[in-house]
Amino acid sequence: MGGGVGVTVLTVTAPVYLDAASAAPLHPVAREALLAALDDGWADPARLYGAGRRSRQLLDAARQTVAECLGTRADEVSFCANGTQAVHRAVLGGLAGRRRAGDLFVHSAVEHSAVLHAAERHVADGGRVTSVGVDRLGRVDVDAFAAAVRAPGVALAALMSANHEVGTLQPVGEVAEACAATGVPLYVDAAQTAGRGPLPAGWSLASASAHKWGGPPGVGVLAVRKGVRWSSPDPADEREGGRVPGAENVPAVLAAAAALRAVTAEAAAEDARLRPLVDRIRATVAATVPDVELAGDPDRRLPHLVTLSCLYVDGEALLHALDARGFAVSSGSSCTSSTLTPSHVLAAMGVLSHGNVRLSLHRGTTGADVDRFLAEFPAVVADLRRTAGVEGL
Amino acid sequence: MTLVLDCRGQRCPLPVIVLARRIADVGPGELVRVDADDPAAPNDVAAWCRMRGHTFVGVEPQPDGVPGIVVRREP
C-alpha cells in the first residue's frame, strides 16, 4: 500500500443494500431525467399556455413509454401518487365498477398488504371477500381460485404476478383463463415484475410502483384495460382519465418512465446475472447455516429475491446484527412489524416466520457483495444463537 | 396432556425455544401444550414440528382466549 512500517491500513467496506423489493436505488437515467424535468416539466400539464403544454407533452411521452414497457395502450395507463394508491384504486375502483355484478372480491392469501387493506375496506362497506390459499412454496391453488371465481356475485379477482416476500411466480395465465370463463375481471399487482417484462396476459386491471424498478418514490401506475368497468371510489376530477385526482408529479413521472425504459432494456441481461446469484445464496446458506428454512419456489421465482428463516433466531436482532455489518435487508418476522404480527405471506405458506430475512438484489449488486454476505451470515446467525443459548436445541 | 408450557407474554421465537427445551420431558406419543399469545406462535410451532419430526396436533383456545398449541412428541 506504500505505507511504511507501523501504518495500519483500515479496510472500509461499503454498505451492501439488499432491499430492492422495498425500494430499488434510483437508476442513473432516472436521476438525469428528474433533474432535467424539474426545469422543463414543472408547470401544470392541464394548462394551455406554453409551459403547461410542455409539461403535457412530457407527461404524454412518459405515458407512451410506460405503456410500451408494460404492454398496454397509453390510454389505459394512469399515474398515481405511489404504488399503494394504485393498488387501492385498482381494487376499490374495480369493485365499484362491477357493483351490479356482485359484491364478492376473490384474492390470493399472499397478496400485498395494500390489497388486503383495500379488501378490509370493502368488507367494512358491506362487501364480501374470499381468500384463496397457497401451497408451501407460496403458489396459489389454481383449482380453488377457479372454483372461487365461479361463485355467484364475484365482482373482481386479484392475483399478483409474483410474490414480494418470497419471490414465487403466480400462475396468472391459468387463473386469468378461469376468470375469463366466468366474465370476472382479474386485477394483477405487478409491483415486483414491472420492468422485468410486460404485464402477464389476461389482466383486466394492473398496478405497479416506480421505486421498485429504479424510478423515484412517489409514482404509481394504474392500468385499466379498455372496456373494463372501473368507477372512482372517491371524488374524481378530470386528471388521469378521471382515475386519479390531483395534478400529476410530471418530473417524477418522467424519471419513472426513463428508468422503466432502461431497466426493461436491461431486463434479460439482469435476469441472467441475478438469478445465479440468488441460486448461490440459496445453496450456500442451506449448506452453511443449520436449521434454516428457505422460503418460496426455488425455480419458478423472481430473479432477484430470496427469503429465509433461521430457527430460534429473533428477526429484529438479526436485522440489527446485519445492519451493524453493513447489510440492509428486510424481514417478515412479527417482531419487526409495527403490528407485531408475522408476515401473512409466511403464515399462509406455513413456513417459519421468526428469524426471517428477505434479500432482494438490484442492478448495483455485485457477486462480491453476495460473497461478502455469504461469508458473514453464518457467523451472525451462530452468534445470535450462542447469545440466546439455543445451540444444538 | 402430559405437559403444559405457559408462554403468555413471550414473543417469538421464545415459545418455540421453550418447547424445544422441554419436549424431551415427555415420552414419545405424549402431548405438550404451549399456551402462547404471540400471533406468530401457532404458525412457528407448526413449522418447528415439521423441521423436527414431531406432530402438530392443533390449537385449543384456553379459557382466557389464548391459543393452546398442542404438539405430540414423536420418537
CATH of the domain at A52: 3.40.640.10
CA distance B21 to chain A (A): 7
**What pLDDT does A12 receive?**
62
SS3 at position A271: helix
A294 and A204 in a single domain? The answer is no
Residue type, A273: R
Of A309, A342, A390, the CB nearest to B17: A390
pLDDT given for residue A204 in this prediction = 98
- Counting as low any pLDDT under 50, the low residues of chain B are none
SS3 A153: coil
Same domain for A138 and A257, yes or no, is yes
Scanning every residue of chain A, which has its alpha carbon at the shortest distance from the alpha carbon of B22?
A: A393
Residues A40 and A173 in one domain: yes
Q: Is A39 in the same domain as A92? A: yes
Q: Cβ contact (<8 Å) for A354 and B17?
A: no
- CB-nearest to B39 from A334, A351, A355 is A334
For residue A2, what pLDDT is reported?
44
What is the per-residue pLDDT for A5? 59
The Cα A91–Cα A128 span in angstroms is 13
Radius of gyration of chain B, Cα coordinates, nearest whole angstrom: 11
pLDDT number for residue A3:
45
Q: Check whether the bond before B13 is cis (ω within 30° of 0).
A: yes
A164 touches chain B (CB under 8 A): no
CB A308 within 8 A of CB A285: yes
Is A189 in the same domain as A289? Answer: no
In a domain, A3, yes or no: no
Query: Which residues neighbour A125 within 8 Å (Cβ) at sequence distance 6 or greater?
Result: none
Phi-psi region of B52 (alpha: psi -120 to 50; beta: other; left: phi over 0): alpha
* Collapsed DSSP state (helix, strand, coil) of residue A82: coil
Domain membership flag for residue A100: yes
Q: What are the two backbone dihedrals, phi and then psi, of residue A159, each rounded to the nearest 5 degrees?
A: -145, 125
Q: Are residues A130 and A271 in the same domain?
A: no
A60 domain-assigned: yes
Domain that residue A287 falls in? 267-388
User: Contact A293/A311 with Cβ under 8 angstroms?
Assistant: yes
Whether A15 is covered by a domain: the verdict is no
A336 domain residue, yes or no? yes
Q: What is the CATH number of domain B9-72?
A: 3.30.110.40
For residue A389, give the chain B residue with the closest CA.
B17
Kindly report the nearest CA distance between residue A34 and chain B, in angstroms.
Answer: 43
The two counts, helices (H) then strands (E), for chain B are: 2, 4
Residues A254 and A295 in one domain: no
Q: Which residues of B touch A134 (CB under 8 A)?
A: none
Say how far apart CA B31 and CA A346 lie, in whole Å: 26
Does residue A294 form part of some domain?
A: yes
Which residues of chain A are within 8 Å of residue B12 when distances are taken between CB atoms?
333-335, 342, 353-354
User: What kind and span of H or E run contains B60?
Assistant: strand B55-61
Same-domain status, A55 and A103: yes
Q: Where are the domains of chain B?
A: 9-72
Strand, helix or coil at A255? Answer: helix
* A132 and A159 both lie in a single domain: yes
Check CB contact under 8 Å for A354 and B12.
yes
Using a CB–CB cutoff of 8 Å, tell me whether B11 touches chain A: yes
Q: What is the ipTM of this complex?
A: 0.96
In this structure, the strands spanning B55-61 and B67-72 are: antiparallel
Angle at A98 between CA A234 and CA A208, to 5 degrees: 65
Q: Which residues of chain A have pLDDT under 50?
A: 1-4
Domain count within chain A: 2
Question: Distance, in angstroms, between A300 CA and closest chain B CA?
Answer: 23
CB A41 within 8 A of CB A58: yes
Quote the cell numbers at residue A305. 429475491
Put simply, the answer to whether B20 touches A293 (Cβ < 8 Å) is no
Considering CB atoms only, which of B20, B44, B50 is closest to A354? B44
Q: Is A247 on the interface with B (CB under 8 A)?
A: no
pLDDT value for A1: 43
Note whether A295 contacts B: Cβ–Cβ < 8 A.
Answer: no
Nearest CA in chain B to A353: B44
Q: Clarify whether residues A287 and A185 are in a common domain.
A: no
Q: Does residue A9 lie in a domain region?
A: no
Measured between CB atoms, does A355 come within 8 Å of chain B?
A: yes
What does the DSSP 8-state code read for residue A26?
Answer: P
pLDDT at residue A13 in the model: 75
Burial class (CB in 10 A: 0-12, 13-18, 19+), A36: middle
Last residue of a domain, one of A245, A262, A279: A262
Domain boundary among A262, A297, A327: A262
Is A91 found in the same domain as A202?
yes
A107 within some domain: yes
In this prediction, residue A333 carries a pLDDT of 81
